[in-house]
Amino acid sequence: MGLIPPFFLDSVVAIGIGEPTSISWFASGFLYGSYAPSPKQPNRYEVFLITNRHVFEGKETVWLRFNPKKADQPARPFLLSLFENKKPSWLSQQDNSIDVAVIPINVRLLTEQQMEFNYFRSNLHVADVKKLNELGIMEGDFAYVLGFPMGIVGERRSTVIVRRAAIARIRDALDKSSNDFLIDAFIFPGNSGGPVVSKPEAISIHGTKSQSASYLIGIVRSHVSYRDVAVSRQTNLPRVIFEENSGLATVHPVDSFQEIIPRFREKE
């Protein structure tokens, strides 16, 4: 029984840095199709790579890993330039507390090279804050985190890792008093920039709504750390700080990157 549409997994991309022979896969991203119909192309989408801002900052290029359509062929890295005419080709929010980055992707090249890929379509598979309110998403609802934690991308083929999550706090994001929400899930280095999708639920209690489909609901920002301080009994001063993963993670709603996309059209 599948609860995540299989093409959701084909929309997730491993992001790496380094030389072609020694790429370090350090982050996740995903392909997002912004619905932009025209009279000649009623099903037209503009495709973007979405990830965290800190993934792109300080870098001129990154690698993206895709699988060929032929299952017997290994995954291939594609170099993505983050600059055009000495100017960044990606955009982020002016609010530095919102850790998202958006860059256009030439999917024609991927098609010509017969790569296996897909993308979340904004008018079909995405739930912004308005949609989340309509769906009745609330604390306790289940979700999935998709990505490549700790650089585990698969040896021959890119294979997305799916982890279960529960929405821990979202009301402040739903009323737009916060620019992120919390999920109960272990997030590790490599998950940065990965998508969070809702879990369909056929059963609901009275006064709440069942969920008949899975939607992209956000982008992973970071885990929430737990810090414990060891204090010297002799001086009463802190000597060692232990920092651990609390099992909570912050997630930006999809509005955080949707708001950026119109700025690309203004540049044209």
> pLDDT of 116-155, one tens digit each?
999 999 999 999 999 999 999 999 999 999 999 999 999 9
In whole angstroms, give the CA distance from residue 29 to residue 228. Answer: 32
Task: List the domain range (segments joined by +) for residue 106.
Answer: 6-267
The answer to the question of residue 254 being in a domain is yes
In whole angstroms, give the CA distance from residue 8 to residue 27. Answer: 17
Contact 145, 220 (CB under 8 A): yes
Q: Which of 220, 57, 229, 53 is nearest to 148 (CA)?
A: 220
The answer to the question of residue 53 being in a domain is yes
Q: What would the DSSP string read from start to end of 7-75?
A: HHHHTEEEEEEEETTEEEEEEEEEEEEEE---SS-TT-EEEEEEE-HHHHTT-SEEEEEEEESSTTSPP
Contact 244, 236 (CB under 8 A): no
The answer to the question of residue 128 being in a domain is yes
Distances in Å between the Cα of 108 and the Cα atoms of 12, 103, 104, 113, 133 are 17, 15, 12, 9, 36
The answer to the question of residue 1 being in a domain is no
pLDDT digits (tens, 9 = 90+) for 227-264: 888 888 889 888 888 888 899 999 999 999 999 999 99
pLDDT at 7: 95
pTM for the model: 0.92
The answer to the question of residue 213 being in a domain is yes
pLDDT at 19: 94
**Taking the CA of residue 221 as centre, how many other CA atoms within 13 Å lie in the half-sphere pointing to its CB?**
23
DSSP state of 132: H
Confidence band (pLDDT; 50, 70, 90) for 111?
very high
* CATH number of the domain encompassing residue 48: 2.40.10.120
**Taking the CA of residue 31 as centre, how many other CA atoms within 13 Å lie in the half-sphere pointing to its CB?**
23
pLDDT digits (tens, 9 = 90+) for 22-71: 999 999 999 999 999 988 889 999 999 999 999 999 999 999 999 999 99
In whole angstroms, give the CA distance from residue 182 to residue 169. Answer: 5
Q: Which of 199, 192, 177, 176 is nearest to 251 (CA)?
A: 192
Residue that the structure tokens 């999708």 belong to:
197
At residue 38's C-alpha, the angle toward residues 37 and 40, to 5°, is 125
Q: What would the DSSP string read from start to end of 243-267?
A: EEEEEEEEEEETHHHHTTHHHHHHH
Confidence band (pLDDT; 50, 70, 90) for 265?
confident
The answer to the question of residue 82 being in a domain is yes
Q: Are strands 161-169 and 142-147 parallel, antiparallel or unpaired?
A: antiparallel
Structural domain total, the chain: 1
pLDDT digits (tens, 9 = 90+) for 155-167: 999 999 999 999 9
Distances in Å between the Cα of 68 and the Cα atoms of 10, 71, 162, 193 are 11, 7, 21, 23
The answer to the question of residue 175 being in a domain is yes
